[in-house]
A and B are shown apart, each in its own frame.
Chain A
C-alpha cells in the first residue's frame, strides 16, 4: 500500500485534550473526516455531560425525586444497560449514582470530610434504587444524580473510530485524553506507539506500547488526590463506604472496544490492590497496572 499523507487534528473536549491522526489521500476528505469526528465527540458531550445544563444527564438529575420518569433514546438505554452490567460485574463498586460523593470530598481543600457529611450522601447512592427500562429512567430520591463519566469518553472513542471507518479511513488513531482506538487493522500496517502516563509524574510516560488494532483505555488516580497527615487519598471513591479506595495507582486495558476496556479498567481501580490484580489476571484481556509503590504488573506488550 502506498504511504498516504498523515493528517492530525487536536481539540479539547470532554475535559481533556483530544487528538486524531489518520492517513488519507485527499485534503477535502480529510477535512470532512475531521468535522464529522469532532461533531460526534461534541454530540456525545452535549448529550451526556453533567456540567451542561441542557444535557440529558442534567435533565435526568433535575427530575430526581419527581413522580414522572424521563424518556430516553435507544443509545442512552443501551448505555444504561452497559452501566448496569458494570455494576453487576463489580458487585456494586461501579455505580452511576456515586458521583455525588464529590459534594463531600473536596480534593483541593486538603481536608478530609466529616463522616457525617459522607453519611448524609450514602442513602442517595445505589444503582439498585434507580428505576429504568429501555425507554425511560427515574431517580426516586431528590438529590440523587447519575454521571456517565465512567463510560462516555470511552464510547466516544469507539464512535469516532466508527466515523473514520465509515469515511473509508484505513489507518488512524483516535486519542481522547488517553483513551485510544485504532482504526484499520492488518499486519501490513505499522502499529501505533502509545505512551501511558506516569501516575505520579505529570507529563512523563511510565510505559510505551505498540497498538496495532483495537483500543486501549486507562484509568488512574493521578488526576485528583490529596495527602492528609502523610496519607494519600485518591479520587476513586467506593460507593458503598463513601471513602477512597486503597487500590492500584493506574490501570490500562486493551480490548476490541474502548468501552469494554475502559469499564474494566474502572472496575479494577475500584477494587483493593490485591483483589484488583487477581481480577485482572482472570479477565481475559491484555492489561498493565501500576501499584501504589509504582511497581508495574501485567503483560500488555513490550515496554
Chain B
C-alpha cells in the first residue's frame, strides 16, 4: 500500500483528467450557441475642438459620431448559428482640409467648415458552423454612406489540437469600396473611384497553464485603387499599399482577487513607411457573482509615412498632410462595467483618447490636426433562455 504522499496525487490525477471532458468546460468557444441573444448598443464619439492657436480661423469644430447598434445571434440547428448586426451612424462636424504655413512659420490647420453631415448604415450577416474541434464562419458586410459604398466578404476558421490546449485560426477577407465624394464646400480629389482590399490572417493560441493563455497572430493586408483621401486638399497617395502586422497577447487569471490580467502587443509595418506599436493592458475584475469592472489602457506610437509633411510639397509624386499618417503617440484610458441581472446584461464604457507628437517613439513633425476624443457607450443584452 502506498502512503499519503502518493494518495493526494490520486485525487489530483482523477480531477485533472475528468476536467478535460466537455461538461466541465463551461460555455466553450466552440460550442454552438444554445439560446437566442439580442443586444442593443448606443455609443457617442466626440472629438475635442482643435485648439484655436492651431487653426486659421474658420470652424474648429471637429467630428461627432452617434452610433446605434443592433445584434441578433440565433442558433438555427445543433451546429449552426446565424448572427445579424446592424449599425447606424450619424456623423457631423468638420475635418481638416489642409495644413498651411502661418506667418510665424509654424503649420496651422484649415478645417473644411461644418459642412459634413453624413449617415452610414452597415449590415453584417455571419453564419457559423461548429464542428467537433472548432468552428468556421462566413461573413458578409454591406456598408453604405452618401459618398461611400462597401461590400466585404470574409471566411474564418479555427481548429483545436487533440489535447484541446492549442487553437489554430485563420481568416481571409476581401472588399470592394466605391467612393463618390459629396460635392459641396471643398473641391474633391476625385468624382468617382474605387479600391479593393484583401487580407489574410493566421493565429495560434495556447493554454500554457490552468490560469494562463498566450496567443500570436500574423496579418497581411493588400490595398489597391484610390487610396487618397478625397476631401483633403493636399493628398495624393500611391495606388497600392502592403501592410503586415504581428500581434501577441497574454491573459492570466488570478484566483485572488478573482480577476484576470490581459496584455496585448501589436507591431504594424507597411510599404508607405508607416510603422506602429500598440500596447493594450486591461484588468478584468469580477465582483460578487454578476459584476465585472474592466479598467483598460492603451498606448499607441506611430511613425510617419515617407510622403507625409505638414506642409505638403505638391510637386512630389506622392504627398499628404493627413495627421493620421504623421508621427505621434497616443494614450487611451477607460473603464468598462458589465452587470448581469438574470437574463439581462448591462454594459457601459467610457474612454478618453489623447495624442501628442512627443509621446511617440518615432520622431517627426507634429501635426496641428492631431485630435483628442471621448467615447461613451451603453449596451443592453438579453438572452432568451
- With A78-B20, A78-B21, A275-B1 as given contacts, are A168 and B342 in contact (CB-CB < 8 Å)? yes
Among A29, A75, A89, the residue within 8 A (CB) of B13 is A89
Residue pair A257, B15 in contact (C-beta under 8 Å): yes
Contacts of B11 in A (CB 8 A): 260, 264, 283-285
B20 and A81 contacting across the interface, CB-CB below 8 Å: yes
Q: How many residues of chain A have a CB within 8 Å of chain B?
A: 41
Chain B interface size band reads: 20 to 34
Tell whether A45 is near chain B: CB-to-CB under 8 Å.
no
Closest to A86 in B: B14
Q: Within the assembled complex, what's the spacing in Å between the Cα atoms of A282 and B23?
A: 27
- Cβ of B19 < 8 Å from any Cβ of A? yes
Known: A29-B385, A74-B164, A260-B15. A158 touches B23 (CB 8 A): yes
A267–B385 Cα distance when bound, in Å, is 39
Q: Does A32 contact B (CB under 8 A)?
A: yes
Residues of A within 8 A of B27 (CB): 166
Complex Cα distance, B19 from A277, in Å, reads 26
Q: Is the CB of A167 within 8 A of B162?
A: no
Measured between beta carbons, the chain B residues less than 8 angstroms from A84 are 17
In the bound complex, CA of A29 to CA of B385 (Å): 7
Q: Tell me, yes or no, whether B229 is within 8 Å of chain A by CB.
A: no
When C-beta atoms are compared, the residue in chain A nearest to B5 turns out to be A282
- In this assembly, does B316 line the interface, its C-beta being within 8 Å of a C-beta of chain A? no
What 0/1 pattern do residues 8 to 34 of B give for CB contact below 8 A with A?
Answer: 101101110111111110110000001
Are A168 and B18 in contact (CB-based, < 8 A)? no
- Nearest B residue to A156 via CB reads B23
Q: Which of A59-93 contact B (CB under 8 A)?
A: 73-75, 77-79, 81-82, 84-86, 88-89
CB proximity to A under 8 Å, residues B344-385: 385
Does the CB pair B21–A259 fall under 8 Å?
A: yes
Q: Which residue of chain B has its CB nearest to the CB of A91?
A: B2
B7 touches which of A74, A255, A284 (Cβ 8 Å): A284
Query: Which of B18, B21, B163 meets A134, CB within 8 Å?
Result: B163
What is the interface of chain B mostly: helix, strand, loop, or mixed? loop
B14 touches A155 (CB 8 A): no
Residues of chain B lying within 8 A (CB to CB) of residue A133 = 162
- Is A162 close to B, CB under 8 A? yes
CB distance from A170 to the nearest CB of B (A): 9
Which A residue's beta carbon lies closest to that of B30?
A74
- For B18, give its contact among A82, A135, A279 (CB under 8 Å): A82
Q: Do A264 and B1 have beta carbons less than 8 Å apart?
A: no
Q: Which residues of B contact A284 (CB under 8 A)?
A: 7-8, 10-11
Q: With a CB–CB cut-off of 8 A, which chain A residues contact B184?
A: none
Q: Tell me, yes or no, whether A220 is within 8 Å of chain B by CB.
A: no
Contacts of B163 in A (CB 8 A): 134
Closest to B8 in A: A284
Contact B14 A168 (CB under 8 A): no
Q: Which residues of B contact A161 (CB under 8 A)?
A: 23
A263-B13 Cα distance, complex, nearest whole Å = 12
A219 sits at the interface (CB 8 A): no
Cβ-defined partner of B24 (8 Å) among A29, A89, A158: A158
- Given A82-B18, A162-B23, A168 and B385 touching (CB < 8 A)? yes
Q: In whole angstroms, how far apart are the Cα atoms of A263 and B15 in the complex? A: 10
Residues in B neighbouring A86, C-beta threshold 8 A: 14
Between B8, B10, B18, B20, the greatest number of chain A beta carbons within 10 A of the residue's beta carbon is seen for B18
Q: How far is the CA of A77 from the CA of B23 in the complex (A)?
A: 13
A75 contacts B162, C-beta separation under 8 Å: no
The reply to whether B18 and A260 form a contact with Cβ atoms under 8 Å apart is yes
B238 to chain A, nearest CB (A): 48
Once the chains bind, are A78 and B385 in contact (CB under 8 Å)?
no
- Interchain CB contact (< 8 A) of A88 among B13, B18, B21, B22: B13
CB-CB under 8 A from A158, the residues of chain B are 21, 23-24
Distance A74 CA – B165 CA, assembled complex (angstroms): 12
State how many angstroms separate the Cβ of B18 from the closest Cβ of chain A: 5
Contact across chains for B24 and A257 when beta carbons are under 8 A apart: yes
Which B residues lie within 8 Å of A29 (CB)?
385
Q: How far is the CA of A81 from the CA of B1 in the complex (A)?
A: 24
Q: Is the CB of B162 within 8 A of A135?
A: yes
Instruction: Find chain A residues with CB under 8 A from B10 CB.
Output: 89, 264, 283-284
- Which 9 residue pairs across A and B have the least CB separation, nearest first? A134-B162, A159-B23, A282-B7, A85-B17, A78-B20, A78-B21, A284-B11, A259-B18, A82-B17
A85-B17, A158-B24, A260-B11 are known contacts; what are 11 more A-B pairs with Cβ within 8 Å? Answer: A78-B21, A155-B23, A158-B23, A162-B24, A168-B343, A168-B385, A256-B15, A257-B18, A260-B15, A264-B14, A284-B11
What are 16 A-B contacts with C-beta separation under 8 Å?
A36-B34, A74-B133, A75-B21, A78-B17, A78-B22, A81-B17, A82-B14, A84-B17, A89-B13, A158-B23, A159-B23, A168-B342, A168-B343, A257-B18, A260-B18, A263-B14
